[in-house]
Copies of this chain bind each other. A is one copy, B any other.
Amino acid sequence: MAPGSSNEKKTDDGQASKENFIHLCNPHLEKMKEDILYHFALGTGTHDFPTLFGDVKFVCVGGSPSRMKAFIAYIAEELGLGSPGCDYPNICAGTDRYAMYKVGPVLSVSHGMGIPSISIMLHELIKLLYHAKCSDITIIRIGTSGGIGLEPGSVVITRQSVDATFKPQLEQVVLGKTVIRSTNLDEQLAKELMQCSREIGQFNTVIGNTMCTLDFYEGQGRLDGAICLYDEEEKLQYLKNAYESGVRNIEMESSVFAAMCNLSGVKAAVVCVTLLNRLEGDQITSSHDVLVEYQQRPQKSCSQEIGDNISNKEIKTRSLQ
């Protein structure tokens, strides 16, 4: 698939550096005078994107708006960028479709549940980063999932996102025709995130395949939805087949996330905590407090990765001076 476009650029000290800009796979956008990002309630005619977002290097996305708000406060403190108790305004306050927060080079955006919901958000996010002339962007999805064969609370870093038949691809319908897209993710970034989790040393973390489904109940073989026309044996056989093919967790956004980041030349990773072991049940029965703690685990790995990278860049900048 199309890689991200790269530009050679001279730095102040005359050294050549390679910047990866967003690769926009749409020739029509160049002709538009104004671009309204409707579901963000932002637009190039009303907002100065390079000033607002030009310094962004890391984008963290997750389903729940309140979790993404909590994350921005957490990462601000971790990176020493915010003051305790500081309130971060919702940049998308003009809509309730998504919520967006920023501190320094980190943007935190909610995406709702399911492929269509994250896909709308990613179309507008990728355009936002393009209009803002951002470069060298890393996007990490920090989410929740159902685990297979793992102790609840384990974190899965996605090697490949696979569909409900365990194929590493996304089928999309464009103008009524089926298009198949690759769902590869950045191997190096996955390894770095694994290393971060090891350094934190507080929870079990594995690299494995993630199955991305269009439904939470029937689509994931649950027995507790309003509709279920199969039995427990068929369910368990399906989940065991998934496990044998390398699947370690199931969620509902990773395939289109991988496909769109691939096409736009953006480094991407998916880090999800497992809320339960699907071989042992379907209902999420852990207490609120336990679930809140679980949900902080991907945030910790992600924050460590961002911290390492920012420090590395600062050290590199200093060594050039």
**Which of A's residues lie within 8 Å of B, judged by CB?**
24-29, 32, 35-36, 38-39, 63-66, 94, 96-97, 112-117, 119-120, 122-124, 126-127, 130, 163-166, 172-176, 213-219, 221, 223-230, 232, 234-235, 238, 241, 252, 260, 263-264, 283-285, 288
Contacts and interface: CB of A to CB of B under 8 A. Distances in A.
Nearest to A237: B175
How many copies the complex holds: the figure is: 2
A46 to B, nearest CB: 11
Given A130-B226, A226-B130, A228-B25, A116 B113 contact: yes
Q: Which 6 pairs show the lowest CB-CB distances between chains A and B? A: A114-B116, A126-B226, A26-B228, A28-B223, A164-B173, A123-B225
B26 A227 contact: yes
A64 B219 CA distance: 24
Contact of A225 (B26, B218, B219): B26
A183 B165 CA distance: 24
Contacts of A235: 175
A218 B116 CA distance: 11
Given A29-B224, A114-B117, A252-B116, A284 B36 contact: yes
Given A97-B113, A113-B117, A117-B116, A226 B175 contact: no
A28 B228 contact: yes
A263 B123 contact: no
A214 B26 contact: no
Nearest to A228: B26
Contact of A229 (B97, B174, B214): B174
A66 B130 CA distance: 30
A229 B25 contact: yes
Contacts of A24: 226
A124 B223 CA distance: 13
Given A114-B120, A175-B238, A227-B264, 6 more contacts: A26-B228, A38-B284, A39-B113, A39-B216, A113-B117, A114-B115
B113 A173 contact: no
Contacts of A285: 36
Contacts of A223: 26, 28
22 contacts: A25-B227, A26-B228, A35-B224, A36-B283, A38-B283, A38-B284, A66-B96, A97-B113, A114-B119, A116-B116, A116-B219, A119-B215, A122-B226, A123-B216, A123-B225, A123-B226, A172-B214, A172-B215, A174-B221, A175-B230, A175-B235, A227-B260
